[in-house]
Structure 1
Amino acid sequence: MLILVSYIGLVLFSISTNKEALQKDTYWDWYRNYVGQSTKGAYVNTGSKEKPIALSESQGYGMLITLLAAQKGYAKETQFMRLFYYYKSFQISEENTLMKWKQEKTDKGWESVDDNNATDGDLDIAYALIQAEKLWPDSIEHYGDAAQKLLESIKNNNYSEKTGLLTVGNWATVDPKAEMLIRFSDIMPTYYKAFADFTDDPFWTKLEINATKALTQMSQETSTGLLPDFAWVGENSIAPVKPYEVAGKNDGDYAYNSARVPLRLADSDNPQVKAVLDKMLIFFDKQPVIYGGYTLKGKPLVKNQSNSFSAPLLYAAKGHGNFSNLYASQRWIFDYSIVGKDYYGDTLKTLALLKLY
C-alpha cells in the first residue's frame, strides 16, 4: 500500500511538473518570438521582423499573457510594466485613454495609423490592469487608477444607446449605421462582471444582461449554435452581416474573430451563457476534425486545422465531462513549438494554456 501511494504521488508530481514546464516554455517561446522593445515600451509584434506592426488587440493579449505568467512566477512586473508603458504611449488622449488601434514603425519612429480604437483590445487591457492591481497593489504605476480611467473611456466612447451593447470602436459609435454593428468576440460576460465589481457601476451589469440576450438570440438562429464574426442588431432582431460588409468575405461566418468566442465565454457562470457555449461545443464535438472556420450552417471554410480555432475550444472543453473527447482531440496544438510565424494562433494558444492549469 505504501509503495502504491508513493507511486501515485510520483505520477501526480510528474504530471504537474510537465504541465508547469509546458506552460513556462510556451510562454517564453511566445515572448521571444513576438514581444519587441521600443523607446515607447514593449509591444506585441503582429507583423514581421522587417516590418513590425502593433495592435491594441495584440497589446491586450500581451498584457493578459504576461499577467498570467507573472501570477505563476514565470514573469516579473517589469515585463508587464513595459507593455503598460507602450499602451500609455498610444492612448487617444489623457482624458480618453482608449488605445489607438494600430501602430507601424516608420522613419520617424512608431506612429499610429489613426486616432480610433478597437473595442476588444481595450477590454483586454482593462481586465489585465484590474488583475495587475491585485497582483502588485503597491506598484508605483497605480494600475487600478489606469483601469478605472480606461473603463470610463470605454463606457463613454464604445457604447451604443440604440443597441445597449458595445460598438466595434469609437469610430462606429458616431456612425448611425455602424453603431448597429457588433462583434461577438467583444462580448465578454466574465469581464463585464469583473468591471461591475471593480467600479461598483451598474452600467456593466446592464451590459452583461444585454450581451447575454444578444448571444442567446443569435445562437437560436442556427442549428449549430455558431456565432458570426459580425452581426447587425435591430430593435427586435439580430442577423449576421453579409460578405464584405465589414472586412472580408467571411464577415458573416464563424471565422477568425469568432474563433476566440469559446475562450471568451468559458469562464462565465451564467446559465444562459453556458447554454450558448454548450450548443457550440456539441456541434464541434461531432466533427471528426476541427477546421479553421465554418459557415453558420456548419460547412468548413477551409481544409486545414488552426491554433486560432482549436486553442479556444480546448480551453472551453476542459473539465467538461460531456466534451472530454473534444478536449483530447484539440491537444494536438501542443505538439508544435512556437516559431514566430503565426501571431494570432500562437497567442491564443499561449493564452489558453496559461489559463488551462
Structure 2
Amino acid sequence: MATHARSRSRQLLAAIAAAGCTAGALVALAAGGSASAATTPMRPFPQHTTYKVGVMPTASQSTRDAAVKKQYDSWKSTYLVHGCASNEYYVSTKGDGDAPNNGTVSEAQGYGMNIVPLMAGYDSSAKAEFDGLWQLVKDHTDQYGLMQWKLDGNTCKYADSGTPDGATDGDLDIGYGLILADQQWGGYSADAKAWLAKVYAHDVASDGHLKCEDDGPTNDTRPSDFMIDHLRAFAAYDTAHDWGKVVTRTEAIVNEFTSGYSSSAGLLSDFVVNANTSTPDPAPASYQENQPDNIVGYNSIRNPWHLGTDALLYGRTTAATSFNTAVKESNCLKSISGGDPKKVQPHIKLSCANANVSGDTQAEEAGDLAGPAAMAAGDQAWTDAIWAQLATNPFGDTYFGETLKMLVYVVMAGDYWNPADGGPTPTTTPPTTPPTTGPAGNQSYEAENAVLAGGTAVTSCTHCSGGAKISYLGSGGTATFNGITEPATGDYTLTVYFMSVGSSKSAVITANGVDQTVTFPQTPDYNTVVTQTVTVHLNGGGGNTIAFSNPSAGAPNIDRIVV
C-alpha cells in the first residue's frame, strides 16, 4: 500500500511513511460512451433544481447561471488538459504541486468527471472531454482496476513510491461521474456498474464503512469521503450491491464520532480510526500528514459541502444526519469567522476553535465549502456572504481551491441535479400525422384540439405529432381537454409530450376538478419532445376533462397527451 499526501506549497504539507488513508481526495472513472449514446444532453446546463430544504442566494437565477459559466470558462482554460494521449484529457494540479510537472491525481480526475457532465449544453464539447477523462482513467489503473492516484505530467506514469494504488474518495467521484454521464447522454451504464462493483469490493469494509484506499486497512476512514448523496445514487443505480448498508454505516460514524467529540459543532477530524467499532476516534495528529490529522484540515473542510449537498438534494428526513450535522457545521464556521468567509481557517479544532496552524491560516476553499451547509441551514446572510466570495480569489488559490469552487458554484446556483431522480425520457421523432392511439392502445389527444383560453395559442412544430403544439400556457393561459374516454372508473397513467426550453416549468393538472402540480424538467431545444407521466383518476365513459394551467408563471409547451 502506498501512502498518499497532499503536497501543496502554501500549506507546507509533507508526506510521511505511515499506513492508512490517503491525504488527497482521489477519483477514478469508468464510463465509455457506446455507439448508441446520445450526443444531445438530456439535462443541459442550466438545470434549475428545487432543493428540498434551505435557502438560495438572493442573486437572481440568471446572475447565478452567468457566474457559473464564467467560473467554468476560467477553470476549463486553466486546468482541463488534452493529454497524455490524443484520446485523453486530464485535470491538471497546476499551481498546487500535487503531482509532478502539473500532472493529475485521481481526485482531480474525478472532480473533472463531475464538472463536465454538469456543464454539458453550455459546453458543446463536454461529451468528448468526458470520454477523454474516462479514457485516461482506464489507461492508468492499479491492481484492482481502479485509478492510480498520482500521475506525472510529463511521463503520464505513476508518480508515487510502492505499488500503484487508488483512493476511495476518487473512486466514489468517478463512479458518480459515470452515472451523471449516463443520465446526460446514455451509453455509460455498463461501465458505471462495473466500476461500482470494483469500488464496493475494494473500498468498502465488511461492516459497510468506507476504507481510505483500495489496498488499505479496514479500521480507519476519512470523512472527506462521506459523499452521502453519491452513495444514495449508487444504491438507486447499482442494485447488485448493498449501498444502503454503506449509507447507514457512514451516517452512524458521523453520529457516533460527533456525539463523542464535537456534539455542538458537528465537526469531524481529517482521519478517523476505530471506524469498524461503535466508538470511532480521531486519528493521531501525525497519522498521515502534518496538518495535523486529529482535527479539521484540508480533507474535512469538505464535509460542509458534502453533507450540505446531501441535505439539499434529499431533505431533512431522508438525509437527517447530513442535515443536522451540516447545520451545526455552518453555525460553527460562521461563529468563528464572524460571518466573513475569508476568515474561515483551513484547520479547526473539534471544539469549534481556530487551530491557528503556523503559516497556514488562510484558504479560500475553507470558506467557499461552507456554502451548501449554510444554504441547508437556512441562513440567508451567511449564504449570501459565501456566494459573494465565490466571485473572488482573495488568496490566489490555484487547482484545489478553484476546482472546489467550481463544484460549489454549481450547487449554490441551483444547477446541481440529482441523477437518481430519473429525469426526462427522450421520445423518437413522431410521425407527421397525429396518431389515433397511444402506447398499449391508449388514446392520444392533440393539444391543438384542446379548448384554449387566456392567451394560450397553437404554434407550428415540425417535430410534434400533429405538426403543432400549444404555446403561452400558464400565467393565466389554460388548455382543457374534453371528452377523455375510459372504459371504467379508476386510476390511469397520463403521459404528457412536452417541451420546456430554457428552464424547468410547472403546471397544474386538473382531472375532473382534482388538482395536482407537476414540475416538467428543462428540455434541450425545440427539436426534442420528451415525456412526463402522472397518475390521474378518471371516470368510466367519455365525460372526463383534463385541464392544464399555471396561474402565476409560464408552463411548458405541450404537443399531446396520451391516457
* 1:298 maps to 2:355: no
- What 5-or-longer segments of structure 2 have no aligned partner? 1-58, 414-563
Instruction: Say which SS state the counterpart of residue 111 (structure 1) adopts.
Output: coil
Residue in 1 aligned with 2:309? Answer: 267
From 291, 312, 327, the counterpart of 2:383: 327
* 1:155 maps to 2:200: yes
Instruction: Say which SS state the counterpart of residue 101 (structure 2) adopts.
Output: coil
From 357, 372, 377, the counterpart of 1:315: 372
Query: Would you say the 8 A contact 1:97–1:149 is kept in 2?
Result: no
* 1:243 maps to 2:293: no
**C-alpha offsets along residues 186-210 of structure 1, whole Å, 9 cap, x if unaligned?**
1122111111111113510011011
Taking structure 2 as the reference length, the TM-score comes to 0.55
Query: Would you say the 8 A contact 1:307–1:348 is kept in 2?
Result: no
Evaluate the alpha carbon distance shift between residue 195 and residue 27 of structure 1 in structure 2; reply closer, same or farther with a 3 A threshold: same
Evaluate the alpha carbon distance shift between residue 143 and residue 91 of structure 1 in structure 2; reply closer, same or farther with a 3 A threshold: farther
Evaluate the alpha carbon distance shift between residue 105 and residue 282 of structure 1 in structure 2; reply closer, same or farther with a 3 A threshold: closer
CA offset at residue 267 of structure 1? 3.0
**C-alpha offsets along residues 90-146 of structure 1, whole Å, 9 cap, x if unaligned?**
1226xx43111111134xx21013420011011001001011011111xxxx32211
* 1:232 maps to 2:305: no
CA offset at residue 75 of structure 1? 5.1
From 170, 177, 180, the counterpart of 1:121: 170
Task: Give the partner amino acid of 1:59.
Answer: Q
Distance in 2, matches of 1:258 and 1:167, equals: 15
Moved more, 194-203 or 209-218: 194-203
CA offset at residue 341 of structure 1? 4.8
CA offset at residue 340 of structure 1? 8.0
Distance in 1, matches of 2:238 and 2:135, equals: 23
Taking structure 1 as the reference length, the TM-score comes to 0.85
Evaluate the alpha carbon distance shift between residue 276 and residue 74 of structure 1 in structure 2; reply closer, same or farther with a 3 A threshold: farther
1:95-244 mapped onto 2 (5 Å cutoff): 96-106=144-154, 109-113=155-159, 114-137=163-186, 142-161=187-206, 163-172=207-216, 178-221=217-260, 222=262, 223-233=264-274, 234-244=276-286
- What 5-or-longer segments of structure 1 have no aligned partner? 1-13, 173-177
**C-alpha offsets along residues 184-238 of structure 1, whole Å, 9 cap, x if unaligned?**
0111221111111111135100110111000111111223221111011253311
Q: Which runs of 4+ in 1 moved over 4 A?
A: 71-75, 337-341
Evaluate the alpha carbon distance shift between residue 247 and residue 101 of structure 1 in structure 2; reply closer, same or farther with a 3 A threshold: same
Distance in 2, matches of 1:310 and 1:160, equals: 32
How many aligned residue pairs are there?
Answer: 329
Query: Would you say the 8 A contact 2:309–2:411 is kept in 1?
Result: no
Distance in 2, matches of 1:118 and 1:338, equals: 30
Query: Would you say the 8 A contact 2:114–2:177 is kept in 1?
Result: yes
Distance in 1, matches of 2:84 and 2:394, equals: 26
Query: Would you say the 8 A contact 2:235–2:243 is kept in 1?
Result: yes
Distance in 1, matches of 2:148 and 2:116, equals: 21
Query: Would you say the 8 A contact 2:368–2:390 is kept in 1?
Result: no
Query: Would you say the 8 A contact 1:284–1:326 is kept in 2?
Result: no
**C-alpha offsets along residues 29-54 of structure 1, whole Å, 9 cap, x if unaligned?**
01111112214311111145982121
Task: Give the partner amino acid of 2:406.
Answer: T
* 1:345 maps to 2:401: yes
More strand by proportion, 1 or 2?
2
Distance in 2, matches of 1:335 and 1:265, equals: 23
Task: Select the structure of larger CA radius of gyration.
Answer: 2
Identity %: 24
Distance in 1, matches of 2:395 and 2:136, equals: 24
Instruction: Say which SS state the counterpart of residue 43 (structure 1) adopts.
Output: strand
Cα RMSD between the aligned structures? 2.3
Query: Would you say the 8 A contact 2:266–2:325 is kept in 1?
Result: yes
Distance in 2, matches of 1:241 and 1:298, equals: 18
Evaluate the alpha carbon distance shift between residue 34 and residue 286 of structure 1 in structure 2; reply closer, same or farther with a 3 A threshold: same
